[in-house]
Amino acid sequence: LAPPWEQLFALEHRTMDHQLLLEQYRNTSQALQSLPANIDEDISKKIKQLLNKAKKMEKLCNTTNFNAFDTKTEADSLFSEIKETDVENRGIVSQLQGYGIGDKEGKSIASALFEAKLLIGDIRDSN
């Protein structure tokens, strides 16, 4: 009768696998035993701290979003005013360019400056 080498090799292989598994189990067991006894309380405290931090960050984010929206609205309003002022300035320049035309090109610089001063005063008063 021939010895059952294949079965012996398979048994040896399974034995080695079980030894590795046992070693992993022992390592895990030692790691669990080395943990502090109140680890669950520590984890609960950390979770509460992180939740509070997340809530604070959410409030800060909401405040920041509101401030950004408010700033954008104000910037849009200022931009609109700048555009209106630019249109008024172009109108003044246009009026000054056409000042005295038809008067045989005899433009009076003093009259043009006086009218410009009046127009700027009107703009200042309208604001």
Report the pLDDT averaged over residues 96-105: 62
Task: Note whether residue 26 is domain-resident.
Answer: no
Model pLDDT, residue 104: 56
| Confidence check: pLDDT of 116 > 70 | yes
The domain containing residue 86 runs over which residues?
65-102
| Confidence check: pLDDT of 112 > 90 | no
Task: Note whether residue 85 is domain-resident.
Answer: yes
* pLDDT tens profile 53-90: 999 999 998 888 888 989 999 999 999 999 999 898 88
Output helix, strand, coil percentages for the chain, rounded to the nearest 5.
85, 0, 15
Task: Note whether residue 46 is domain-resident.
Answer: no
